[in-house]
């Protein structure tokens, strides 16, 4: 067996895990690892801030379905990862984050750039490790990747004492892991499957409520089969947009706080809610005791802790969504369209998503999304920041395939979008990647423009510029009598800023100029910024006020 | 409702922090938590006393299961376990009160483990109820300080059920 130093062992282990892309930022405590990277054929993308690096790895993981890998140094390097780890944890994204740590003899001595990152990241990772002995290194990496991508995926952090990356040992990568305390369930319980099938066959108004778990599991084919076979309408959460093509008659698109009226009304009327890899988040359910109050609930989830966490369910099935659906489908009876499907059609016709357009030169944000949808044939990967623009992007674009909409769902991280779009483009090099950003959010990790430019990552950045922190402003308008406390945010000149980074940039404020500007940006060979001025006080509707029931939807 | 959980965990660094952290993060109430070695040096056993209804208990159990180093969780049925808590109490006492306190200790099968001119230290083991009764009786004399280990418990053998 070859003798390698710790840095080289990491590189070789990453190759064994089929990693070909890593995102990172060097520093003293990881200098040995970076030395090993120097001669390796791993592609390393240097970010401009560790938060950018971890979000890029996250965007890469979401778009490619692979494990995202990032590297940061000790102390501030590690602490700058915190938001990104929490973000990945909330949305169950598989990441392996390597952090440098001071030498093992210095740990606990408040050494230069020392921070207890395993302690800090404990509640925001699926698991973490501190490696102080090179003999544990390869096995730890094997375990980290296994934990990150199996079961309910999540971020795993490996903290590396600096002497471990320097030391030399024989490299022996284990074939399998031995984790007696970690055994995810994949197959559904036979009895529960039968119960679920019976309930579905007997239901008059069944509804599929599909979440991010179905995307992670790769269950789009099974979902389609099941919905189409039994003519079950499908509503998805923000995390699952596109898993069921939104141009289909049974597609109800997003439900919840800013969901469609027809999805929310169907949720109120259904007599059997089939939750598939979804976790009954408060932004989906609103007031819990009113949510799907007429329905029995089937919940399919790989994480047993999700069953009954927020809402009691009649038929729980613990297992991998794809596997469980495969087991379930043969027992599902084929059905023809009936009164329920008629009702769905009626709801869709009667309560469509809409917005006011006065025919002037004002550019409505909803219109921009429709134009992007049209221009790209609905095929582009849409990445978002967090806020009003995120909701418009979710509402006014028809998604057709899973992993087409990439967004920070659970944590709601402003500053996620730009680095995530870079990662998403690297994960799907052939797709067109469009970042929908707010003028507030984009400024939170604006430094990553440097990364996009340096590697010529051809993302198209469309800034919905309303000179406000729009979502908070909207709440202040509706619930706080327009007391706009600290939500007015003068934007910089985004065009000059883009140009300073060497990025093609253009500003638009007339509707008649939008199409050609969009075309120019989309056709530009390389990253592009389109700064679009939208009305300052446009609201996202429909809206269910926080804590209210879905029936109390306002607007739209 | 109190529940007693017996949790076997892999003896890895930070395992106690992981478990304690989980309880605070998920807003669960721990009444007491006890860690000790087991017959297997790689495995420790924690006895955790939790407050909450069945729903809370279910979530606690499921969330604990998600920790990679947790091997097994058993809720102990109070009717078929041996449950013990240890207390050390230093009671203020004058020379005249000494024999009375010793009598009380005897009734509870407690030991006097230290005698000072103005105080006595008593060691007692037993169920929570018993130790609380003892503490209550000694309160009249003035308790200088006391410390309790919290509950440890094991299921009885099959034959004893």
Write the pLDDT tens digit of every residue in A86-138: 999 999 999 999 999 999 999 999 999 999 999 999 999 999 999 999 999 99
Predicted pLDDT at B160: 45
Q: What is the mean pLDDT of residues B76-103?
A: 93
Write the pLDDT tens digit of every residue in B94-126: 999 999 999 999 999 999 999 999 999 999 999
Among positive and negative, which fits the CA dihedral A417, A466, A391, A409?
positive
Domain segments of chain A: what residues? Answer: 3-170, 190-350, 365-533
Minimum mean pLDDT range among A500-504, A534-538, B91-95: B91-95
Closest approach of B79 to chain A, Cα-based (Å): 28
Q: Count CB atoms within 10 A of the CB of residue B56.
A: 17
Closest approach of B90 to chain A, Cα-based (Å): 36
Secondary structure (3-state) at B6: strand
Q: Where are the strands (E) in A338-440, listed by range? A: 381-384, 405-406, 433-438
Fold match between domain B2-76 and domain B81-155? yes
Predicted pLDDT at A556: 67
Q: What does the block give as tokens for A108?
A: 């606990």
Q: Which residues of B touch A305 (CB under 8 A)?
A: 59, 62-63, 65-66
Predicted pLDDT at B150: 87
Q: What does the block give as tokens for B102?
A: 């010793």
More confident residue, A59 or B31: A59
Q: Can you tell me the distance from the alpha carbon of A497 to that of A507, in angstroms, rounded to the nearest whole number?
A: 12
Residue B21's closest chain A neighbor by CA?
A123
Write the pLDDT tens digit of every residue in A31-75: 999 999 999 999 999 999 999 999 999 999 999 999 999 999 999
What separation in angstroms does the CA of A89 have from each of A16, A58, A233, B25, B80? 24, 10, 30, 14, 40
Q: What is the mean pLDDT of residues A268-280?
A: 98
Predicted pLDDT at A539: 97
Among positive and negative, which fits the CA dihedral A456, A457, A458, A460?
negative
Fold match between domain A190-350 and domain A365-533? yes
DSSP one-letter code for A118: H
Residue A305's closest chain B neighbor by CA?
B62
More confident residue, A392 or B154: A392
Strand-by-strand arrangement of the A460-465 sheet: A405-406, A381-384, A433-438, A460-465, A528-533, A504-508
Which percentage of chain A shows pLDDT scores above 90?
A: 98
Q: What is the mean pLDDT of residues B59-70?
A: 95
Q: What does the block give as tokens for A220?
A: 């789009």
The fold of B2-76 is Alpha-Beta Plaits (3.30.70)
Q: Which residues of B touch A308 (CB under 8 A)?
A: 55, 58-59
Name the CATH code of domain A3-170 (choices 3.40.50.970, 3.40.50.1980, 3.90.700.10, 3.40.640.10): 3.40.50.970
| pLDDT of A419 above 50 | yes
Secondary structure (3-state) at A274: strand
Per CATH, the homologous superfamily of domain A190-350 is: TPP-binding domain (3.40.50.1220)
Query: Residues in chain A, how many?
Result: 556
ipTM above 0.90, yes or no: no
By the 8 A CB rule, do A45 and A22 touch?
yes
Of B18, B58, B69, the CB nearest to A308: B58
Phi and psi at A341, nearest 5°, equal -70, -35
Q: Which residues of B touch A123 (CB under 8 A)?
A: 21-22, 25
Q: Can you tell me the distance from the alpha carbon of A45 to that of A60, in angstroms, rounded to the nearest whole number?
A: 12
Closest approach of B6 to chain A, Cα-based (Å): 15
| Contact criterion met (CB < 8 Å) for A130 and B25 | no
B84: β partners: B152
| Contact criterion met (CB < 8 Å) for B69 and A181 | yes
Closest approach of B72 to chain A, Cα-based (Å): 8
Of B55, B62, B70, the CB nearest to A181: B70
Minimum mean pLDDT range among A76-80, A505-509, B78-82: B78-82
| Contact criterion met (CB < 8 Å) for B65 and A123 | no
Secondary structure (3-state) at A341: helix
Closest approach of B161 to chain A, Cα-based (Å): 29
Of A119, A127, A309, the CB nearest to B59: A309
B62: contact with A, CB 8 A cutoff: yes
Of B10, B13, B59, the CB nearest to A305: B59
Which percentage of chain A shows pLDDT scores above 70?
A: 100
Q: Are strands A168-170 and A206-210 parallel, antiparallel or unpaired?
A: unpaired
Predicted pLDDT at A505: 98
Q: Which residue has the tokens 């490790």?
A: A129
| pLDDT of A155 above 70 | yes
Q: Can you tell me the distance from the alpha carbon of A407 to that of A438, in angstroms, rounded to the nearest whole number?
A: 13
DSSP output for A151-210: SS--EEEEEEEHHHHHSEEE----SS---TT-----SPPHHHHHHHHHHHHH-SSEEEEE
Q: What does the block give as tokens for A388?
A: 């009003």
| pLDDT of A454 above 90 | yes
| pLDDT of B151 above 70 | yes
Query: Residues in chain B, how many?
Result: 161
Q: What is the mean pLDDT of residues A496-524?
A: 98
Residue A312 pLDDT class (50, 70, 90 cuts): very high
Predicted pLDDT at A318: 97
Helices A388-395 and A470-479 sit at what angle, rounded to 10 degrees?
100
| Interface probe, candidates A126, A151, A152, A181, chain B, greatest B C-beta count within 10 A | A181
Residue B161 pLDDT class (50, 70, 90 cuts): very low
Predicted pLDDT at B119: 94
Q: Which residues of A touch B18 (CB under 8 A)?
A: 122
Residue closest to A459 by CA, chosen among A501, A490, A401, A488: A501
By the 8 A CB rule, do A240 and A224 touch?
no
Residue closest to A440 by CA, chosen among A479, A410, A400, A412: A412
B123: β partners: B88, B111
Q: What is the mean pLDDT of residues A313-334?
A: 97
Minimum mean pLDDT range among A17-26, A91-100, A431-440, B134-143: B134-143
Q: Residue A412 — left, alpha, or beta (φ > 0 → left; ψ -120 to 50 → alpha)?
A: left
Residue A193 pLDDT class (50, 70, 90 cuts): very high
Residue A146's closest chain B neighbor by CA?
B68
Q: Which residues of B touch A127 (CB under 8 A)?
A: 68
Task: For residue B90, give the H/E element and its range.
Answer: strand B81-92
Provide the CATH number for the domain formed by A365-533 in this structure: 3.40.50.970
Active site residues of A: 50, 112-113, 162, 471
| Interface probe, candidates A122, A128, A139, A180, chain B, greatest B C-beta count within 10 A | A180
| Contact criterion met (CB < 8 Å) for B65 and A304 | yes
Helices A511-523 and A365-375 sit at what angle, rounded to 10 degrees?
40
B81-155 has CATH 3.30.70.1150 classification? yes
| Contact criterion met (CB < 8 Å) for B59 and A181 | no
Q: What does the block give as tokens for A271?
A: 């007599």
Predicted pLDDT at B91: 95
A515: CB partners within 8 A, 6+ apart: A371, A375
């Amino acid at each position: 067996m070859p003798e390698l130093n710790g840095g080289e062992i990491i590189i070789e282990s990453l190759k064994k895990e089929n990693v070909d892309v890593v995102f990172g930022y060097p520093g003293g405590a990881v200098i040995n690892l970076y030395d090993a990277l120097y001669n390796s054929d791993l592609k390393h993308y240097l970010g401009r801030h560790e938060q950018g690096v971890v979000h890029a790895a996250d965007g890469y993981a979401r778009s490619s379905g692979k494990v995202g890998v990032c590297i940061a140094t000790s102390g501030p390097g590690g602490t700058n990862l915190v938001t990104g780890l929490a973000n990945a944890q909330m949305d169950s994204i598989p990441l392996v984050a390597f952090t440098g740590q001071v030498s093992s003899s210095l740990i606990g001595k408040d050494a230069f750039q020392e921070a207890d990152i395993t302690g800090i990241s404990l509640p925001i990772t699926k698991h973490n490790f501190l490696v102080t002995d090179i003999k544990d290194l390869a096995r730890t990496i094997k375990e980290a990747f296994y934990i990150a991508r199996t079961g309910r995926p999540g971020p795993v952090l490996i903290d590396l004492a600096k002497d471990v990356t320097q030391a030399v040992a024989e490299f022996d990568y284990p074939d399998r892991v031995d984790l007696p305390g970690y055994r995810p369930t994949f197959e559904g319980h036979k009895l529960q499957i039968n119960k679920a099938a019976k309930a579905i066959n007997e239901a008059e108004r069944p509804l599929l409520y599909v979440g991010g778990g179905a995307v992670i599991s790769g269950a789009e084919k099974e979902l389609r089969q099941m919905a189409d076979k039994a003519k079950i309408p499908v509503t998805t959460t923000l995390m699952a947009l596109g898993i069921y093509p939104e141009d289909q008659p049974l597609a109800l698109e997003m439900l919840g706080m800013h969901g469609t009226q027809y999805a929310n009304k169907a949720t109120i009327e259904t007599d059997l809610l089939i939750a598939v890899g979804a976790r009954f988040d408060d932004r989906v359910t609103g007031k819990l005791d009113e949510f799907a109050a007429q329905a029995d609930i089937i919940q399919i989830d790989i994480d047993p802790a999700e069953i009954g966490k927020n809402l009691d369910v009649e038929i729980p099935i613990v297992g991998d969504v794809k596997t469980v659906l495969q087991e379930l489908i043969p027992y599902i009876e084929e059905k023809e369209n009936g009164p329920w499907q008629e009702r769905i059609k009626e709801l869709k016709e009667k309560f469509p998503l809409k917005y006011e357009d006065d025919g002037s030169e004002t550019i409505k944000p909803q219109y921009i999304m429709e134009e992007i949808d049209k221009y790209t044939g609905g095929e582009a990967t849409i990445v978002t920041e967090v806020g009003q623009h995120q909701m418009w992007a979710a509402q006014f674009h028809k998604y057709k395939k899973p992993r087409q909409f990439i967004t920070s769902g659970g944590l709601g991280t402003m500053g996620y979008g730009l680095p995530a779009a870079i990662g998403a483009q690297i994960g799907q090099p052939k797709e067109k990647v469009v970042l929908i950003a707010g003028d507030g959010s984009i400024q939170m990790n604006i430094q990553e423009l440097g990364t996009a430019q340096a590697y010529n990552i051809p993302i198209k950045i469309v800034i919905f510029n309303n000179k406000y922190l729009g979502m908070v402003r909207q709440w202040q308008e509706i619930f706080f009598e327009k007391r706009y406390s600290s939500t007015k945010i003068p934007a910089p000149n985004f065009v000059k800023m883009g140009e300073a980074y060497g990025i093609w940039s253009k500003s638009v404020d007339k509707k008649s100029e939008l199409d050609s500007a969009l075309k120019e940006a989309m056709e530009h060979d390389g990253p592009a910024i389109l700064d679009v001025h939208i009305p300052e006080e446009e609201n996202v509707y429909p809206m269910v006020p926080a804590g209210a029931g879905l029936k109390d939807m306002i607007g739209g | 409702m109190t529940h007693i959980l017996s949790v076997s965990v892999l003896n890895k660094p930070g395992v106690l922090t992981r478990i304690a952290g989980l309880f605070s993060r998920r807003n669960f109430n721990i009444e007491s938590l006890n860690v000790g070695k087991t017959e297997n040096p790689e495995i420790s056993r924690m006895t955790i006393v939790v407050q909450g209804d069945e729903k809370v208990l279910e979530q606690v159990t499921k969330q604990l299961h998600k920790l990679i180093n947790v091997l097994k969780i058993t809720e102990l049925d109070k009717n078929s376990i041996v449950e013990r808590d240890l207390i050390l109490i230093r009671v203020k006492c004058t020379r005249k009160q000494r024999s009375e306190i010793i009598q009380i200790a005897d009734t509870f099968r407690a030991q006097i483990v230290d005698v000072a001119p103005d105080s006595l230290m008593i060691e007692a083991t037993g169920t929570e109820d018993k130790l609380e009764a003892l503490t209550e009786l000694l309160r009249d004399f003035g308790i200088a300080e006391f410390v309790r280990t919290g509950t440890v418990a094991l299921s009885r053998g099959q034959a004893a059920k």
